Every structure is written in structure tokens, then in C-alpha cells.
Amino acid sequence: MARYLAARILQGLVTLLAVSVVVFVLSRLSGDPLTLIMDPMSTKADLARELARLGLDRSYPEQYAIFLLNALHGDFGQSIFFKRGAFEVFLEKLPATLELGGTAMAVSILIAIPVGVLSAVHQGGWFDRIARLAALTGQSAPVFWIGLVLILLFSVTLGWLPTAGRGSWRNLVLPAITLGWYGNAFLMRITRSAMLDVLDTDYVKLARLEGLAERRVIWKHAFKNAATSIVTTLGLMSISLVTGAVVTETVFAWPGVGRLTVDAIFQRDFPVVQAAVILIAVMVVAVNLAVDVVYAWIDPRVRFG
């Protein structure tokens, strides 16, 4: 178990290192950062002093080391747009995204897992067919368009829910459904196929022969064993939630880190972009690590292997 987790942690760190290199290289490609922060009237001497202060006169490997060290201390530089620390700006917007992502994830789990299990149990029946087609359609529709269609239906036509912003629970409904949409379809399909595999095994057949109630066979015997694939899927979903959040927050003007990143890109506010991309990658890696721990805990083959 320790060996397995050590390997996972190492891989997470390598991923983060890769992201930091990509961001660093791009930040140097995006043009001279000094042109953005310096007074156009400054002299050559001013420039040289500023270059030395920011460490931009050193070699690229040295610059990268400084960048990494600063990042570890939560220092991503000053936001050009907000005139404050980029890290601070990111932290301010984080709760909104966690609220949205958490709700979307909860909605997905509550809907997709029961539907996936029922679908597998009644394989080939009408419930299964409708659920599968719905899931496939869900996976095929673009998230941003689903958001707009929901706005058209529930805000414009019916007038039930607000179109944008954050505040009461009413603001949360449409964005959470939109963000949960894709993950829902994905999770339902994985749950179904994992359950089908397990329902086909001898111990489930044996449990049935022993005369256990069908309900008990499905949830106690089969579902427990299908859970490993489902948990892994939840980790993968965290990546698609990040992607979805960028788009969903743009559609609903939700004041979270996804919209912050998109805005920062258009405002050429590179310190904020750097901070956002690296910190979001940290979150994705952390969620995946948590999933690996849960995975090891459920599956004895991993725990003792």
C-alpha cells in the first residue's frame, strides 16, 4: 500500500512539474513581461535595475527555479488587472467554484449511480434503453449549449430561475445542472458497465442461489464490487468538472476561478493565468490522489499487493 501510494504521489508531483514547465515556457513566449509593468518613460538604467530585481537577467533555468520557489510560497506575482497578488485573487474566487463543482458532483452521484445500477439490473429493458440513449445524448451535447438551452427554457420562457450571477440557491440550480450534465452521462455509463461485469460473476449467482433477497444481492454483493471502477471515474470526473467549470462559469457569469482564468487570458493578465492554471492542476492532482487512497482502501488487491 505504501509503495503504491508513494508511486501515485510521485506521479502527481511529476504532473505538477510538467504543468509548471508549460506555464513557465509560455509565460516567456508571451512577450517581455517588463513592457506590461514598466512606465514607457523609464530609462535604460531603470530597465536594467528592474530586470535584475525580477531576476529576468539570469539564465532561463535559474529563472525557472526562482519561479518555482516563489510559486511554492504562493507568490505568483502581482495581477496586472487587479493590482493585487495573483494568489490572493484566485483564493477569493475559489469558494464560488467549489460550491458549484461540489453541487454538480453531488447531483451527478445522486442521479447517475442509481440510474446506472437499475439500468444494468434491467439490461435490455425499456428503462435501460431510455437511460442509455439519454446518457449518450448527454455526452454528445456541448456543455455551453446545454446552459443556453436551460436559460432559454427556465429563465426566458418560464421565468422561474435567474440567468446569471451568484447569491441564493436559485442562482445555483441551472449552473449546477449544466456542469453536472456531462459527468452524469459518463458516470452512468461506467456504473452500468461495471455492474454488468459484476452481475455476471459466480459469487453473485451463488448469492442468488442462496436465496438472498435481490435487493441485498444487488447492493451488498454486486455494487460493492463495482464501486472500484466508479470511484476511479469520480477522479476522472474532477478533470472534466474543471473543464466544464471554465465553460459553465462563462455562460452563467458565475464569479469563480474558471471565469477568472478566461477573463485573465483576454486581459493579458499573465500572473493570474499562471496562478490559476497551476493551482487548478494542484487541485486536480489532489483529488486524484484522494481517489487513489479510497481505491486502495476499497480494493484489497491494491491494499496488500
Q: Which residues bind other proteins (CB under 8 A)?
A: 11-12, 14-15, 18-19, 22-23, 26-27, 29-30, 136-137, 139-145, 148-149, 151-152, 156, 190, 193-194, 196-197, 229, 239, 242-243, 246-247, 250-251, 261-262, 265-266, 273, 276-277, 280-281, 284-285, 288
Return the residue matching grid coordinates 458565475: 254
Residue whose CB is less far from other proteins, 119 or 288: 288
Please answer whether residues 166 and 87 qualify as being in contact, where contact means their C-beta atoms are separated by less than 8 angstroms.
Answer: no
Kindly state the smallest distance separating residue 294's Cβ from other proteins, in Å. Answer: 17
- Whether the CB-CB separation of 178 and 146 falls below 8 Å is answered with yes
User: DSSP string covering 147-203, please?
Assistant: HHHHIIIIIIIS--S-SS--SSHHHHHHHHHHHHHHHHHHHHHHHHHHHHHHHTSHH
Nearer to other proteins, 212 or 294 (CB): 294
Q: How far is the CB of 100 from other proteins (least distance, A)?
A: 16
- For residue 78, the minimal CB distance to other proteins (Å) is 19
Query: Would you say 85 or 244 has its CB closer to other proteins?
Result: 244
Task: Give the contacts of 291 (CB within 8 A, at least 6 positions apart).
Answer: 231, 232, 234, 235, 238
Which residue, 172 or 281, has its beta carbon nearer to other proteins?
281
Half-sphere exposure of 172 (CA within 13 A, CB side): 14
- Conformational region of residue 123, where left means phi above 0, alpha means psi within -120 to 50, and beta covers everything else: beta
Count CA atoms closer than 13 A to 276's CA, side-chain side. 26
* Least CB distance to other proteins at residue 268 (A): 8
**Shortest CB 110 distance to other proteins, Å:** 23
